[in-house]
Amino acid sequence: MKQTLLLLSALALAAIPLPVSAAMVTAAEYFIDTDPGPGNGTAVPASSPGIPSTFLVDIPSAVVSLLPEGVHTLTCRVKDDADNWSIAFSRSFHKETPINISPSVITEAEYFINADPGPGNGTASPTSVAGNSNTLIIDIPPATISALPDGTHTLTCRVKDDVGHWSIAFSRPFYKENPEDLPPALVEFIEMQWYLNGVAASQPVLAKAAAPAREVSLVLQASVAGLTETGTYQFLVTPIDSRGNRGVGVARSVFIEPGTLARPLTVSALRRLPDGSIELSFSGEPGLSYILQASLDLKDWINLQTILPGSSTVQFKDADASAPQRFFRMRTQ
């Protein structure tokens, strides 16, 4: 009965606002599940009759205790000073009887590797503190691990309470590898990659060591090809051994100054004007000097003009249009 009263208390605190018309609210009623008809429900006193009014539905414990467990519907309606009843407003609730379960106390723990020997037949493991919330530290003897074959295994633990109930089992896989069976790891490759703000800014590049060794010294040339922004980059160098295992990388910050990364030269237009001259439009890296050259046979080139592009597109007009064909190219100075 104590647990049922707790449920009733929660229901008693449920205040359901009932919107009504501008008339004076004078009465209210509720019912559970079956509608007995307007005026035949259980009366609810108004805390402050008027416009609007709030009603607190306080359901006696005896009423709820008679309900079977499951979902039910609580419905309310109000009446105005002209004896008109409002539409009904409903809310669903679920009734259940809580079960009194006292907290169990953990008294024992055990573990096993791979095959389950059954509750109580594993290897006993001491618990740090007896209680209903505990920490289990499993110290597996080296002899037990050394007897396992190399490969993947499963470590499983479970605990028992003071009434003799064993818990469900909790498992974690682990991989056993005997270092004595493997040759020493030798560095064979060095991986290089640029990062900007924690994001890879280039594809990884591998450099092969002259000979695999525990320690390798290399003179690395870091290419900036493909980098498009100026700023502080992180150049990450990671060793990789002959088995493909990656070691701990070493990063160095490198500041790329403006103008260091050349913006690709872009030709936006090449057209012949009505007067026969050629107009060339292009854009390049601000601050770099470009030489515009022309040729009739792609062998002999002559300089036409030196150009310093700004932030906008540059136009060049070639008035010499006497030749049947003429080739152009741009070169940095």
Q: In the chain, what are the domain boundaries?
A: 2-95, 106-179, 187-256, 266-332
CATH assignment, 2-95: 2.60.40
Question: Is the confidence at residue 40, as pLDDT, over 90?
Answer: yes
Q: Which of 32, 41, 100, 87 is nearest to 62 (CA)?
A: 32
**Tell me, what DSSP letter sits at residue 105?**
-
Find out whether 261 and 224 touch, Cβ atoms under 8 Å: yes
Q: Of all helices (H) and strands (E), which one includes residue 91?
A: strand 89-95
Residue 37: the pLDDT is 92
Whole-model pTM? 0.30
Q: How far apart are CA 328 and CA 322, in angstroms?
A: 15
- pLDDT > 70: what percent of the chain? 71
Whole-number pLDDT of residue 114: 92
Residues 51-77 have a mean pLDDT of: 83
For the stretch 229-273, pLDDT in tens is 777 888 888 888 877 777 777 888 888 766 555 556 677 677 777
Query: Coil, strand, or helix at residue 163?
Result: coil
How far is the C-alpha of 87 from the C-alpha of 21, rounded, in Å?
11
Q: Indicate the pLDDT class of residue 204, thresholds 50, 70 and 90.
A: confident
- What number of H helices and E strands is found in the chain? 3, 19
The average pLDDT across 164-183 equals 78
Q: Look at phi and psi of residue 128 and say left if phi exceeds 0, alpha if psi is from -120 to 50, else beta.
A: alpha
Instruction: Give the Cα separation of 7 and 2 in Å (integer).
Output: 9
The tokens for 172 are 């974690």
Token pair of 323 as six digits: 């030749």
Q: Assign 286 a pLDDT band (cuts: 50, 70, 90).
A: low
- Asked whether the predicted pLDDT for residue 161 surpasses 50, the reply is yes
Phi/psi at 93 (5° precision): -145, 160
Contacts of 277 (CB under 8 A, 6+ apart): 317, 318, 319, 320, 321
Q: Is residue 98 classed as helix, strand or coil in its secondary structure?
A: coil
Residues 190/205, Cβ–Cβ less than 8 Å: no
The pLDDT assigned to 279 comes to: 77
Nearest CA to 95 out of 115, 77, 74 is that of 74
Q: Is the pLDDT of residue 15 over 50?
A: no
Cα 264 to Cα 186, 282, 283, 288, distances in angstroms: 41, 11, 8, 11
**Residue 186 — very low, low, confident or very high, per pLDDT cuts 50/70/90?**
confident
Q: What Cα–Cα distance (Å) separates residue 126 from each residue in 109, 110, 135, 140, 166?
A: 6, 8, 10, 12, 15
Phi, psi at residue 63, to the nearest 5°? -70, -45
d(CA 331, CA 333): 6
Span 168-181, mean pLDDT? 78
